[in-house]
């Protein structure tokens, strides 16, 4: 696949594309129903910028100190004590910190929801995902009872803080996000990004494509919605359009997408046809309900192994049924369970391997008092860390579980292995 990029606006509707009656033509020639928003509105850039200069990950607070991770909590503090970094992890605030600390995985936040069309509040998602965790972490065991691996013993992990946000300025913010995530990737670490609305996957995944090459990154996308819309009325960049923007920019070709969990009442047939033309592979909830999640997950894992050189997971928390994740902007009943989500993330990280991941659309104002949506997102990150550690240790067989975790339903001889 060619890695050539273009700044040509050929994929972006122009002001001259406006047809009669104030409707606009998209790049496919179809009418899209919205009002004429004025000269220049549809001339937004088809892709984000290049390079990492001015990335915003360094400020004058961190000039002159020796580089390396900063411990801001005392060893072994519980989740509700001390300073709420993710899992009480040490902090890195500059790319030099990441390199000096030989960081394997850097967790960061993108507190942005200005491109959400549903219920707002996802800008509070990163804070809630960090703060909801009773467990604590760094200096305490992170021992998965399913696979008997401690990710924090195997990996060097940090909290990288949050990307710069420019309130009211989508394009500048997205450029900041792309550069910020790019500093993680360029350091050699795997970024795990806490959202934020789903529009931020466009700059986040673009950062991976910038590093590994356009067409070289694939995405497994868990969501109730396809997010392949031409536009959300009022903006070409929204949480309903990031996958189309990645495809149209050339960063991630359609054939490199595997989507899981789609349901409800959108997209329409025209958009589904567009997805099929671009060879996107989509597993609707209808397929999951008919064949069972385990079989569909096996298909998704096989497709992920077949699709590209590097894998990125994009987890919209609304892929889970609102019974398990009520705190989201566009809930859709009839979705996955918590165990489905956690198992899928761990298996993809272990069996396929990932170069990045985001967890988006956690909206704390709509979470219940038990913070179950934020907690599911937190545990999805922990399962990704476990899967990365499993792969590091060579535990990559399909649906691996430690024999000691299988219980009395299996023979003593099997349970005593390992």
Q: Each residue of 72-130: pLDDT tens digit?
A: 988 878 777 889 999 999 999 999 999 999 999 999 999 988 777 777 789 999 999 99
pLDDT of residue 293: 96
Highest-scoring range by mean pLDDT, 56-70, 136-150, 211-225: 211-225
Q: Where in the chain is the domain with CATH 3.40.800.10?
A: 60-403
Fold classification of 60-403 is 3.40.800
Output the pTM of the full model: 0.83
Q: State pLDDT tens for residues 130-177.
A: 999 888 766 677 899 999 999 999 999 999 999 999 888 888 888 999
Joined together, the tokens standing for residue 229 give: 């819309």
Residue 15 in this model has a pLDDT that exceeds 60: no
> With bands split at pLDDT 50, 70 and 90, how would you rate the model's confidence at 276?
very high
Q: State pLDDT tens for residues 259-270.
A: 999 999 978 899
Residue 349 in this model has a pLDDT that exceeds 60: yes
Residue with tokens 């609102």: 322
Residue with tokens 């529009």: 199
């Amino acid at each position: 696949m060619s890695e050539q990029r273009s700044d040509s606006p050929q994929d972006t509707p122009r002001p001259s594309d406006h047809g009669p009656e104030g409707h606009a033509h998209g790049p496919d020639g179809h009418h899209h129903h919205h009002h004429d928003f004025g000269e220049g509105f549809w001339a937004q850039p088809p892709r984000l910028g290049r390079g990492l200069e001015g990335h915003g990950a360094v400020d004058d607070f961190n000039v002159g100190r020796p580089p390396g991770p900063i411990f801001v909590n005392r060893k072994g503090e519980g989740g509700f004590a001390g300073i709420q970094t993710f899992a009480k992890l040490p902090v890195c605030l500059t790319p030099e910190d990441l390199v000096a600390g030989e960081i394997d995985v850097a967790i960061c936040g993108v507190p942005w929801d200005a491109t959400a069309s549903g219920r707002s509040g996802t800008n509070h998602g990163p804070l809630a995902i960090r703060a909801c965790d009773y467990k604590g972490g760094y200096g305490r065991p992170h021992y998965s009872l399913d696979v008997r691996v401690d990710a924090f013993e195997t990996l060097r992990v940090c909290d990288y803080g949050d990307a710069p946000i420019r309130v009211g300025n989508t394009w500048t913010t997205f450029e900041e996000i792309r550069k910020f995530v790019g500093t993680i990737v360029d350091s050699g670490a795997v970024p795990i990004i806490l959202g934020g609305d789903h529009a931020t996957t466009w700059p986040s995944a673009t950062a991976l494509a910038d590093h590994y090459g356009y067409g070289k990154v694939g995405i497994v996308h868990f969501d109730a919605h396809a997010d392949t819309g031409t536009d959300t009325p009022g903006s070409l960049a929204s949480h309903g359009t990031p996958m189309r923007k990645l495809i149209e920019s050339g960063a991630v070709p359609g054939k490199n997408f595997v989507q899981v969990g789609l349901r409800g009442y959108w997209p329409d047939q025209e958009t589904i046809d567009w997805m099929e033309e671009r060879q996107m592979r989509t597993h609707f909830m209808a397929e999951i309900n008919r064949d069972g999640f385990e079989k569909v997950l096996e298909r998704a894992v096989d497709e992920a192994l077949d699709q590209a050189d590097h894998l990125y997971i994009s987890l919209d928390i609304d892929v889970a049924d609102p019974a398990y994740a009520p705190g989201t902007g566009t809930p859709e009943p009839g979705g996955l369970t918590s165990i489905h989500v956690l198992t899928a993330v761990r298996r993809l990280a272990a069996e396929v391997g990932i170069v990045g991941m985001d967890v988006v659309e956690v909206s704390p104002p709509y979470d219940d008092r038990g913070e179950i949506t934020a907690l599911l997102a937190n545990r999805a990150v922990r399962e990704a860390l476990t899967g990365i550690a499993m792969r590091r240790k060579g535990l990559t067989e399909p649906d691996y579980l430690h024999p000691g975790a299988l219980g009395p339903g299996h023979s003593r001889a099997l349970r005593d292995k390992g």
